[in-house]
Amino acid sequence: MTRPLSRVGLPGASSRHEITCPYCFASVARQRVLFRCRGQAGRTQGCAPVLDEALAAYMGSPAGASLPPVFAASGRKGRADCPACGRPTGNRACPECHNPLPAAYCDSPGRIVALVGAKNAGKSTYIAVLLHELMNRVGTELDASLVACDDRTIERYKRDFARPLLEQRRLLPTTASAATGPREPLVYLLTRTRRGRFTRARNDSLALVLFDTAGEDLRSREVTDLHLRYLEAADAIIFLVDPLELPGARTGLLDAAPVPRVPGDDPDSEPLNVIARVTETLRQRHGTRPGEPLPVPVAVALTKIDALRPALLRQSALHRSRSGAGVLDLDDRDAVDEQVRALLHEWQAGQLDTYLGQQYADHALFGLSALGGIPEGGRVGAGGVRPYRAEDPLLWLLHRFGMLDGVRPGGS
Ligand SMILES: Nc1nc2c(ncn2[C@@H]2O[C@H](COP(=O)(O)OP(=O)(O)OP(=O)(O)O)[C@@H](O)[C@H]2O)c(=O)[nH]1
Ligand SMILES: [Mg+2]
Ligand SMILES: [Zn+2]
Ligand SMILES: [Zn+2]
């Protein structure tokens, strides 16, 4: 049983009547979602595959786009009979791009999380590690399963993220601009079992859509059309900031850390300018007046904190491991938020915090490390990938989405 989540104050979340396609980000009325014939299987008769032109256009090639036909039908309980062959089907497809919309996605509120940050901020590495954490340690802790919604997501996660980084321990290549070819989001269904003391266990589901943007594409105002739609559809934003890019952080870095850029080198890639461009895009969609804060929650995370001198972290909240098990520890949250704010100000990057406070109704600061150590020679450091607090931004967002309780262990 899935329960509709409360959507109080959360914009963009698909309403009861509309869903946002996680592939083309079109907003479509539920009754417009198409069905796709199940085709021939074994000895049962069904429609033969034909070239699906809308899908081929989306994928940029006819390869893999020959499938049994789609058709419109009102459908009952998510099923309809194919008008051509009469076989019942429960397979759904987006009316715009014809990508499969898994039943679970149609039934659960989809939350599109936009992951943005300058070139080299650590976005791709973060996606690889965050998903792995959710499928393993953090998933267990939350009593949650993370399941890919389609085969392409499984394949792409393995090929582009898990195999190179986690198995072969090679750093990921720079993400190619979306202008060079179609790029697809990774679509997962996160299902949490919640056990009340006196109530029956209940499952809450959330479709999690992650899109790995190329920092390159966020440098200019001419963002691609797909990016624009992705940002416009976002229900939450994770904004990654590389502390090595903050000139003021230089003195706080380990000697082994790469030398930070010269300030003013490439103003387009400065964190503040990247977030300002994203913010402008969001403003157009939400139609807010300039002084009015945007309602989309923004998690701002300093990446690569393994490169900071231990002295900086010793007294710090960031130094502790998160204690919560299946809950969001709000005391810890406040302490980390304060700590990162102090670091930003110390590094003359307080502007970033001030700007976010002015533009967004709800932003929170984080510090994390996806790799857990400084890489060497294009490879992950000797100890392997040892993420640290990588899940924090997502836990906060789950809390915001009403899927994770917040507690104050201090009891206030
Ligand atoms: N020390 C340390 N370095 C990291 C970490 N994560 C990423 N890096 C370094 O940052 C580099 C860039 O990481 P990516 O994940 O490719 O960055 P990106 O934001 O996807 O970059 P683009 O695709 O160009 O936009 C990596 O090659 C690593 O050298 C981390 O947790 N710790
Ligand atoms: Mg990348
Ligand atoms: Zn058919
Ligand atoms: Zn679509």
Task: Report if residue 5 sits inside a domain.
Answer: no
Please list the residues that pair with 204 across neighbouring strands.
192
Residue with tokens 């051509």: 84
Residue 210 has which token pair? 């992650």
Per-position b or e across 182-203, b if 16+ CB within 10 A of its CB: ebbbbbbbbbbebeeeeeeeee
Let me know whether 41 and 190 are in one domain. no
Residue 387 has which token pair? 């993420």
Domain end point (choices 56, 87, 105): 105
Task: Report if residue 6 sits inside a domain.
Answer: no
| Beta carbons of 365 and 345 less than 8 angstroms apart | no
Let me know whether 247 and 191 are in one domain. yes
Identify the domain containing residue 31 by its residue range. 18-105
Residue 60 has which token pair? 């940029």
Spatial separation of the C-alpha atoms in residues 206 and 108, rounded to whole Å: 6
**Burial class (CB within 10 angstroms; exposed 0-12, middle 13-18, buried 19+) of 179:** middle
pLDDT tens-place values along the chain, 412 residues long = 333 333 333 334 445 578 889 888 888 988 899 999 999 877 778 999 999 999 999 888 898 899 999 999 987 778 999 999 999 999 999 999 999 888 777 777 678 888 888 889 999 999 999 999 999 999 999 989 999 988 889 999 999 999 999 999 999 999 988 777 666 789 898 988 877 767 777 788 888 888 888 888 877 666 566 677 788 888 899 999 998 888 777 777 777 777 666 656 677 778 888 888 888 888 877 777 777 899 999 999 999 999 887 766 666 677 766 666 788 999 999 999 999 999 999 888 889 999 999 999 999 999 999 999 999 989 998 889 999 999 999 999 999 988 899 988 876 5
Q: How far is CA 209 from the centre of its chain?
A: 6
Let me know whether 214 and 353 are in one domain. yes
Nearest Cα neighbor of 23 from 210, 181, 215, 213 is: 210
**Which residue from 116, 120, 126 has its CB within 8 A of the most atoms of ligand 1, so it is best to mutate?**
120
Nearest Cα neighbor of 124 from 162, 169, 181 is: 162
Spatial separation of the C-alpha atoms in residues 70 and 323, rounded to whole Å: 49
Task: Report if residue 74 sits inside a domain.
Answer: yes
Nearest Cα neighbor of 115 from 135, 129, 94, 136 is: 129
**Which residue from 119, 123, 125, 129 has its CB within 8 A of the most atoms of ligand 1, so it is best to mutate?**
125
Question: How many whole angstroms from 35 Cα to the centroid of ligand 3?
Answer: 10
Q: How many structural domains is the chain composed of?
A: 2
Which amino acid is present at 249? A
Element (H, E) at 142: helix 137-142
Let me know whether 367 and 218 are in one domain. yes
36 CB within 6 A, ligand 1: no
Spatial separation of the C-alpha atoms in residues 279 and 80, rounded to whole Å: 42
